[in-house]
Amino acid sequence: MAVADVAAWLTHARSVVALTGAGISTESGIPDFRGPQGVWTRDPKAEARADIGYYVAHPEARREAWQARLHHPARAAQPNAGHRALAELERLGRLQLLVTQNIDGLHLLAGSSPERLVEIHGSARDYVCLSCGDRGPMDEVLDRVRAGEEDPACLNCGGILKSATISFGQQLVAADLARAERAAGQSDVFLAIGTTLTVYPVAWLPERALANGARLVIINAEPTAMDDRAHAVLRGQIGEILPSLVSRVAADRTPRAAGKD
């Protein structure tokens, strides 16, 4: 199936839902986990360190985590053509909901509106206290790390602080998951972009869409867990495919919109 066919599906869809994974942000300089150059592909032990139980039990894991947050490439990263294309798809009125597994905040920076975005694994731009739930901008805690605190504690209750992201072993926010599931279950086109579709429960979202009779479109440089179920697999760089797809949707819509006026 070609880009032109998928563009036509987007143009005529009743409800489009997109799911993005780490692959949409690699072109912004943030490595993914499971791609060929992924953090976990190159260092399988890094996956264990992402577990909440390990983080809570091991102060040295927290010290390492704070240093990693200070120097993480996501802090300086900017949105790329893929993020901007999804913001444009929303502006064209063709995107009901964007669900991202990413914690980098780049969809918001690219102009996607908060009302149509679910950051289902949280955001690294905020910190949260694991005891009292106090939450605020990550920079406030990173300033303390820069000033010499190796494992800064919550200023309210002394609890353990962490980035406001969902680690392995933590529950997703129920309202976020319910909203994503509802939208996926009502969609008639579902885009799965730059995700291996192996992280659950998010990987169930395309199943929900398929159960509703939606067309599943997978955009990825490598095979994914659901390629055999997809109606279209667009193989290649997201930063090239998405802009070309969305510019076709824009071109498809312009004459019709003008005709209606």
* One residue of 15, 96, 102, 112 binding ligand NAD per CB under 6 A: 102
Residue range at the interface with ligand NAD (CB under 6 A); choices 22-30, 61-69, 132-140, 245-253: 22-30
Residue 188 or 227: the one with the smaller Cβ distance to ligand NAD is: 227
Q: Distance between alpha carbon 187 and the CA centroid of its chain, in Å?
A: 18
- Does 152 bind ligand NAD (CB under 6 A)? Our answer is no
Residue 131 or 247: the one with the smaller Cβ distance to ligand NAD is: 247
Joined together, the tokens standing for residue 226 give 């659901």
Contacts of 131 (CB under 8 A, 6+ apart): 154, 157, 158, 159, 160
Shortest spacing between CB 206 and ligand NAD, in angstroms: 12
DSSP assignment of 37-89 equals T-HHHH-THHHHHTBHHHHHH-HHHHHHHHHHHHH-GGGT----HHHHHHHHH
- Does 123 bind ligand NAD (CB under 6 A)? Our answer is no
- Does 121 bind ligand NAD (CB under 6 A)? Our answer is yes
Shortest spacing between CB 223 and ligand NAD, in angstroms: 8
C-alpha–C-alpha distance, residues 72 and 83, integer Å: 19
Contacts of 176 (CB under 8 A, 6+ apart): 118, 119, 120
Joined together, the tokens standing for residue 227 give 């390629």
Residue 153 or 225: the one with the smaller Cβ distance to ligand NAD is: 225
* One residue of 15, 26, 167, 187 binding ligand NAD per CB under 6 A: 26
Query: Is 121 part of the annotated catalytic residue set?
Result: yes
From residue 194 to residue 233, the character string flagging contacts with ligand NAD as x (rule: CB under 6 A) and all else as - is xxx--x--------------------xxx-x---------
Of 164, 177, 107, 95, nearest to 136 by C-alpha is: 164
- Does 96 bind ligand NAD (CB under 6 A)? Our answer is no
Residues 35 and 221 sit within 8 Å (Cβ to Cβ): yes
- Does 23 bind ligand NAD (CB under 6 A)? Our answer is yes
Residue 100 or 187: the one with the smaller Cβ distance to ligand NAD is: 100
Residue 15 or 196: the one with the smaller Cβ distance to ligand NAD is: 196
Residue 104 or 126: the one with the smaller Cβ distance to ligand NAD is: 104
- Does 110 bind ligand NAD (CB under 6 A)? Our answer is no
C-alpha–C-alpha distance, residues 132 and 58, integer Å: 20
Residue 253 DSSP SS3:
helix
The owner of tokens 């390492």 is 64
C-alpha–C-alpha distance, residues 10 and 89, integer Å: 9
Catalytically active residues are 121
Residues that bind ligand NAD (CB under 6 A): 21-23, 25-27, 30, 32-35, 38, 101-104, 121, 194-196, 199, 220-222, 224, 237-238
